[in-house]
Amino acid sequence: MKSFFNTKLGKLYLGESESLLRGSVGKSLKGKVNLIMTSPPFPLNQKKSYGNKVGELYKDWFVSLAPVFADLLAPDGSIVIEIGNAWESERPVQSLLPLRCLLDFAEHPDAGLRLCQESVCYNPARLPSPAQWVTINRVRMTDSYTHVWWLAKSDYPKADNRRALRPYSASMERLLKRQSYNAGKRPSEHVLSETSFLTDHGGSIAQNLFEIEPIHPGDEPRLPNAFRIANTRSSDAFSQACRREGITPHPARMPEGLVSFYTELLTEPGDLILDPFAGSCTTGAVAEHLGRRWVGIEIQESYANQAKLRFEDVLKPKKASTIK
């Protein structure tokens, strides 16, 4: 099948993901994908412009993808899925649907997957939702996070947290400089030796709570776990390009920082990354920037056209050279 557009390292296909992955595109990728990084349509109660199923139909559809994705993975490959919460229709009750999706997806008998780790992507600047119960009736708190599920076919997929370290905090920098700290027994009964924290590893190991803004006022954000969506998303290069072209950008774009973190953690340059629900192709753009090969699939042509804006430099026609 011909791709919608190509770059130096990747290609975007236009079409229905399931059909393409069960057809020629899937055959070409079978056993070769190092990372499936995606944010599928969330299990919402209302239809969105980017398309989404609801209720049991959503669960059945989502779970059916497990063996398809597993078949594409390299033996040490990973699947990372960002997915939001769901609420029962017209009730101030959170739905168990996302959790049931996770359990049935991970335990699909034909997929052989396991959950390596769950993370939370927290955004304190999200608009109060669900609005009926948060801002009108005022009986619930703002839903301010999404789940990030990391699954694999092996207990030991390719992963190295040294590739995705956070910069040390200011206090840790001072500790490394003075080469001393309060060693000994802690209230938790852990015993810290006098040398446990004196080695400079180039940064600290990332936590599985990804902050979009600092939780504590005055704290310095420490990338890669501080994803600055709230303050920069409307002014990033992609958003500026959309405004220039008079285009309304995809309303549910995956955070670039989230993609960058898992790309660094789970792959190496030259590895292959797939996003079967590419949208405006955040995954592909990050992969291209970090030197990974990539494949994206998007069903809506308007969003596929938007994706080209992320690759303006590499897709720009080259001027013919003039020989003097």
Encode pLDDT of 201-249 as tens digits.
999 998 898 876 555 556 655 555 544 333 344 457 777 777 777 777 6
Rounded mean pLDDT, 194-205 = 90
Q: Are 289 and 11 in contact (CB under 8 A)?
A: no
pLDDT in the model for residue 49: 52
At 324 the pLDDT is 33
Model pLDDT, residue 150: 98
Q: Residue 312 has what pLDDT?
A: 79
Instruction: Report which of residues 195 and 31 the model is more confident about.
Output: 31
Residue 8's alpha-carbon distances to 165, 236, 284, 288, 289, in angstroms, are 28, 23, 11, 8, 11
Question: What percentage of the chain has pLDDT greater than the value 90?
Answer: 59
How many CB atoms are closer than 10 A to CB 177?
9
Backbone φ, ψ for residue 127 (5° rounding):
-65, 145
Beta carbons within 10 angstroms of residue 147's beta carbon? 17
Instruction: Give 321's pLDDT tier (boundaries 50, 70, 90).
Output: very low
194 pLDDT tier (thresholds 50, 70, 90) = confident
ω into 224 cis (within 30 of 0)? yes
CB atoms inside a 10 Å sphere around CB 233 = 18
Q: List for the chain the helix, strand, coil content (%; round to 5).
A: 35, 20, 45
At residue 212, the pLDDT reads 65
Does residue 159 have a pLDDT over 70? Answer: yes
Distance between CA atoms of residues 123 and 121, nearest Å: 7
User: What is the mean pLDDT of the segment spanning 19-40?
Assistant: 96
How much is the pLDDT for 246? 76
Between 97-106 and 55-72, two packed helices, what is the crossing angle to 10 degrees?
A: 30
Give the residue from 43, 7, 5, 4 showing the smallest Cα distance to 285: 7
The per-residue pLDDT for range 271-285, each reduced to its tens digit, is 999 999 999 899 999
User: Is the pLDDT confidence value at 77 over 90?
Assistant: yes
> Domains of the chain by range and CATH?
5-166+205-315 (3.40.50.150), 168-202 (no CATH)
* Mean pLDDT on 95-113: 96
Q: What global pTM score does this model have?
A: 0.85
State pLDDT tens for residues 276-320. Answer: 999 989 999 999 999 999 999 999 999 999 888 888 776 665 544
Instruction: Give the pLDDT confidence score for residue 126 in this predicted structure.
Output: 82
Confidence tier at 103 by pLDDT (50, 70, 90) = very high
pLDDT at 195 over 80: yes
| Mean pLDDT across the chain | 86
pLDDT above 70 covers what percent of the chain?
85
